[in-house]
Amino acid sequence: MAGVVGTSAALLLGLMSGTASATPVPDNPVPYGQGHMGVGYIQDGKDFKPDTRQLHLGAQADASLKANPEGIDVSGWQGSINWSSVRSAGIEFSWMKATEGLTYKDSTFSANYVNAYNAGVIRGAYHFARPDVSGGAAQADFFASNGGAWSRDNLTLPGVLDIEGSCYGYSQASMRQWVLDFYNTYKARTGRDVVIYTSPSWWNTCTGGWSGMSALTPLWVAHWTSAANPTIPAGFPSWTVWQYSATGSVSGVAGDVDRDRFNGDRSRLLALANNTA
């Protein structure tokens, strides 16, 4: 009994401090300012299956893709992008990195955000989470003030919380609270539910497969695979967006780019953008 009490006390202290470990996801954050979608996915380990297909979308886009609109996600890693070429290639939506942590702003965000809009790409912003530098509420405020805002204009998607790679020393309960604090603050600032980007391994390990966000947030799942459908985290009944490759190519983007697919037709994509679902 004494051992049980001691263990419970230690767990309580961990929950209060937010420092209890939630291994086996490696507690090894990427250097500050260098986070982008998928950078932590390889660290997740057990559900990482490289997709070696050559995924290219050129000017003659396959009309069959329209049933499930194709998208890309980008950051400073892609450099300058020709968004008119991207749209002509059949890409209908994109999220782009705006912020990371509490101070970092992606240098390409402003150009990407404006140029994608002008090219007719339905676009939105994402925030790379760094629970090691502040609480979730503060980072949601920073994001909403620096690219994460939303307006109903037929071309703007709700913001994304990109959370991956490391548990940052948090217990599962403390990580759940961090995510909830981010969600609540972002919702208060923008009126929208934030989209959560994560992998099955990260969510299952770092939140314990928490179901508390499934009724609140659309899921963007990272699972690089040639399978017909992704594996999704416990706690979510379905996916809204699927990042299925990090090695795709699209006209207008130099080098590899993350490829994404929307779970629904264009009318549903527009409903997500305009909050009319």
- Tell me how far CA of residue 161 lies from CA of 13, 101, 193, 210, in angstroms: 27, 11, 10, 16
Tell me the three-class secondary structure of 223-266, residue by residue.
Answer: CCCCCCCCCCCCCCCCCCEEEEEEEEEECCCCCCEEEEEECCCH
Which residues, at least 6 apart from 1, have a Cβ–Cβ distance to it below 8 Å? none
- Nearest of 21, 25, 39 to residue 162 by alpha carbon: 39
**Cis peptide bond prior to 24, omega within 30° of 0:** yes
Among the listed residues 164, 193, 258, 260, the single catalytic one is 164
Among the listed residues 100, 162, 258, 260, the single catalytic one is 162
- Residue corresponding to tokens 């959370």: 163
Q: Is 193 a catalytic residue?
A: no
Which residues are 221's β-sheet partners?
198, 242
- The encoded tokens of residue 10 equal 């230690």
Among the listed residues 44, 47, 70, 73, the single catalytic one is 73
Q: Is 265 a catalytic residue?
A: no
Which residues are 257's β-sheet partners?
248
Amino acid at 242: W
With beta carbons less than 8 A apart as the criterion, state whether 34 and 230 touch. Answer: no
Q: Is 162 a catalytic residue?
A: yes
- Nearest of 221, 208, 167 to residue 20 by alpha carbon: 167
d(CA 78, CA 259) in angstroms, rounded, equals 13
Which residues, at least 6 apart from 234, have a Cβ–Cβ distance to it below 8 Å? 200, 203, 204, 209, 211
Catalytic amino acids? 73, 162, 164
